[in-house]
Amino acid sequence: MTLAFDINCHFEDTPSCGFPGPTLYSFLFEPIFGDADSNLYFNKTMLLALLGSVIIVGFFWAAFRKPKVVPGKLQMVAEAGYDFVRRGIVYETLGKKEGEKYVPFMVALFFFVWIMNLWSIVPLAQFPVTAVIAYPAGLAAIVYIMWMSVTFKRHGFVGGFKNLTGYDKSLGAILPMVMVIEFFSNVIVRPFTHAVRLFANMFAGHTLLLLFTIASWYLLNGIGIAYAGVSFVMVIVMTAFELFIQAVQAYVFVLLACSFLQGALAEHH
């Protein structure tokens, strides 16, 4: 976490020592190296994203480099995670026949989002990479490109356009209005909300953790000690809640990606 405040500032210290609540600067990090002004730099969030990628690749490589019929503990955990995404998300949404070829991508997407979220509660890291909008937006853009590619590859240009606009001549006079709404929803709103849903949840969660963490320290003086204890309990509660939300958001992100592909693969009538 970025705690940009005076470490000696406590409740009842001085009149000028007000509560230093979290700000947008809590989500900004100085470059580890490079020049921030030129946008050519490497900072903490980039480091965490890189480390997360290495951890995921390293874990699955170690688990499956020498697969056994009777799996060891590492292989068993990896197989359980892989099977959860394959059967619990992809097959349930796309079906086994259509979904099998998308399983590797969805597994990679799920674990990448999950690890990026988990950094929020890892000591020293303590920041969810997905709380920076560029990362959810980048992932949503990849899903969007895949979705559009599958749509037009499956149906052709005219069929793909009908698929995206919900074309159905039986709607009669309201067909033009429906087509405009569906086109706006599919082409603009869906990818936007896909990214923002993940970003907003992680941003809000990190802000709450920051708020209660700073409050626990700030109140640790005089009569504020009792309140500091309550605030610290909330830190623990929010951390446990974040663990749940981090996994749920990874699940929802992949589930929505699969639902987009389901629409792309559906036959137009």
- 8 A C-beta contact, residue 257 and residue 143: yes
- 8 A C-beta contact, residue 27 and residue 129: no
- 8 A C-beta contact, residue 194 and residue 142: no
The predicted-structure confidence for 47-85, as pLDDT tens digits, reads as follows: 999 999 999 999 999 999 888 888 888 999 999 999 999
The partner residues of 35 in beta bridges, in order of sequence, read 40
pTM above 0.85, yes or no: yes
Strand segments, DSSP code E, in 12-145 are: 33-35, 40-42
The partner residues of 40 in beta bridges, in order of sequence, read 35
- Dihedral angle of Cα 63, 65, 67, 71, to the nearest 10 degrees: -20
Q: What is the pLDDT of residue 1?
A: 44
- 8 A C-beta contact, residue 199 and residue 131: yes
The predicted-structure confidence for 113-145, as pLDDT tens digits, reads as follows: 999 999 999 988 889 999 999 999 999 999 999
- 8 A C-beta contact, residue 227 and residue 12: no
Find all residues with CB under 8 Å of 223, minimum gap 6, and list them.
Answer: 12
